[in-house]
Chains A and B, each alone.
Chain A
Amino acid sequence: MNRFTRGLAVAVGVALAATLVAALLELPAAAVYLPGAVAQHLAQSGVEHPVTAVLLNFRGWDTLLEVAVLLLALLTLLTLRGSEAPVAEVEAEPLLQGLARKALPLIILMAGYLFWAGAYRPGGAFQAGAVLAAGAVLLHLAGLLPAWAVPGRLLRLGLILGFLVFLAVAAGLLGQGALLQYPPALAGNLILLIEAGLTLSLGLVLAGLFLFVTGRQA
């Protein structure tokens, strides 16, 4: 990239940012007010926290597809495997190992709390899964968990289970009139089921994004 195109990109970026700032300063108020609709229907959503209600109920369709996006990233990384030579494992540090062993129960407890808290305060399957995955990465860095090779049947099941449960619930509710149309009485339990599956699977998928790639000469 030469200096001219570089300068052009910077100039366009600055001009666009300035115009946009000016546009936002004079933007009138929005015509539709969704927080009102969310509050009005929160009681039927099956959860008490409005963000979780939007994420798993009102706009649950987005969330279903977004889990597929994560799975796709994992699939592509798996495709790239195989042609690179593995490297020797890093030497384990006793201090790090001790810390990881102590931290692991707390990490699992924390993930369980986040999963449960999602129903009524900030938290949920994604946060819980991320904490679980961080635990797996910590174990790997401490030399207590080897990098993952081609996934076996059990690991594949764990990776995909949360998505399959979500998909089955979405399709199973078609009989109610539409995809993901929870009956209000069952909504809470179904969302809990989906979140439980997602916590496990997202933990594995996020860990996989690291553990399937690491341990090879880059």
Chain B
Amino acid sequence: MTEAWLEPAAWLIILPLAWASVAFLAGPGRGARLAILALVAQLGLALELAADLTQRGARMHAVGGWGAPLGIDLMADGLSAVMLLLTQAVALPIAVYAQAYFAETHHRHAATWFWPLAGFLLAAMNALFLSADLFNLYVTLELLGLAAVGLVAVGGGTAQITAALRYLLVSLLASGGYLLGVALLYGAYGTVSMTTLAPLAVGQTPLAVWIAAGLMLVGLLAKTALLPFHFWLPPAHGGAPAPVSALLSALVVKASFYLVLRLALGPFAMMTGTAAGLIGVLGASAILWGAWQALRAQRLKQLVAWSTVAQLGYLFLIFPLLAADGLALQAGALQVVAHGLAKAALFAAAGVLMRATGRDTVEGLAGVAGRVPLTLFAFGLAGVSIMGLPPSAGFLAKWLLIDAALKQGQWGWIVVIIVGSLLAAGYIFRVLRQAFLLAPEDSHFQPVPRRLEWVAFVLAAASVLLGLRGAELVALLGVGS
């Protein structure tokens, strides 16, 4: 790309902001078709950016033309490109799903301002993945947090408003910690640009900077719902309408994880190195506790939400294993992508199952296998990736993680990974088994739009098939690192 005005990184942020605004202007409930069209373009832009990066390496875009530290830099490297690709690749099918999902009169209220909220949510994520400025990242974090809270509340029920309020308070407390950290860093170094700051932080690290790192990391871990900060996630993700749950669980929690990783690879390498063991232990506990709660959950969407708590745990196992060979980093990125696609598929399928049975319980699934076989197949396929069976992307991620642990002789993590996979198999098969039981006499099923079923299937298939293309993803990840 030679012409400045076609810069894909810039348009990946401008475009969703624009369609969110136009959707608001168009009025309540409007904007679905525009969003889908724009998301096709965004997916194209993300692919173009990825292709461009592979050819020419990482690059900066100095907003305003000033350049850091006076101005704000956008930076695109392999890690950002992977996150951007995942975001657009999940958002497009979910938008197609949401259009059909909200067409039902029953869900009209939830759809009133869904499209502008979703547009701002996607813009916030794209802006976050591209920013190289710690204060600008604070603004994108708040934009993302408020959009996510708005989407949780979109259903308007008491449980949803309670979940949204709790989510908002956790989110504000967390970004408050992050902001205080940024204030301390500016005081210590006089800049908030990550590129300017990273060498300074390595050279001279006063106590205030250690505290800043601690405040920022704890805040981000709370936003990522790492145990023991996971309590807000199951009600928020499990209570929202299905397309919202899919966006939140597949993408939003990954954004704060991405930032933890970015800081750990950049200015806070030393601090995360010190705390790596603790972060790993928290991740391991999340894997076991989340899966255990998913096994016990009575409601289907709660089960899927607890599965998110468990699967996020794997992401934090990479911190004690980060090494020069890059294995753990690759495992982390693959797990982000695999879980993103698979979890979007699971929530999309859960939405179909709830629609078909008319209720949100695991028990009520009896007999549903005969009615929506495609959806059940999608649930199983996504389950393959969640459990980490070959040839799925989830398998590749967990395999790389085990490989990294073996190379460093850290056997304990391997046990956790394997037990976590067994527990995951437990809760996935619990759903499948129930669905294949005979339907009780008094049960009746509602018809479901075919489009909802196909979206769940496409996402699930992608999460499995991506395992075959892992090498390309790893190559892209290597750009600029």
Contact = CB atoms under 8 A, between A and B. Distances in A.
A62 B142 CA distance: 11
Contact of A79 (B21, B150, B190): B150
Interface stretch (A33-41, A86-94, A95-103, A139-147): A33-41
A159 B25 CA distance: 9
Nearest to A37: B70
B361 interface: no
A1 interface: no
Contacts of B124: 65, 68
Given A68-B143, A72-B146, A73-B146, A175 B21 contact: no
Interface in A129-161: 150, 153, 156-157, 159-160
B291 to A, nearest CB: 26
Contacts of B4: 174-178
Contact of A174 (B7, B113, B117, B139): B7
A154 B132 CA distance: 38
Interface size of A as a range: 35 or more
- Chain B contact-residue range equals 35 or more
B193 to A, nearest CB: 9
B21 A179 contact: no
Nearest to B152: A76
Interface string B400-425: 00000000000000000000000000
Contacts of A76: 113, 117, 146, 149-150, 153
B63 A175 contact: no
A128 B70 CA distance: 26
A185 interface: no
A65 B63 contact: no
A59 B61 CA distance: 14
Given A79-B156, A160-B25, A179-B63, A23 B206 contact: yes
Contacts of B191: 30, 32, 34
B139 A167 contact: no
B127 interface: yes
B64 interface: yes
Contact of A32 (B24, B69, B71, B136): B69
B146 A78 contact: no
Contacts of B146: 69, 72-73, 76
A177 B124 CA distance: 23
Given A20-B211, A61-B136, A170-B14, A32 B64 contact: no
B14 A167 contact: yes
A60 B71 CA distance: 9
Contacts of B120: 68, 71-72, 75
A46 to B, nearest CB: 11
B178 to A, nearest CB: 15
Contacts of A28: 188, 204, 206
- Please name the 4 residue pairs, one residue from A and one from B, whose CB atoms are nearest each other, closest first: A30-B190, A76-B150, A32-B190, A181-B65
Interface of A: 16, 19-20, 22-24, 26-28, 30-34, 37-38, 41, 57-62, 65-66, 68-69, 71-73, 75-76, 78-80, 82-83, 150, 153, 156-157, 159-160, 163-164, 167, 170-171, 174-182
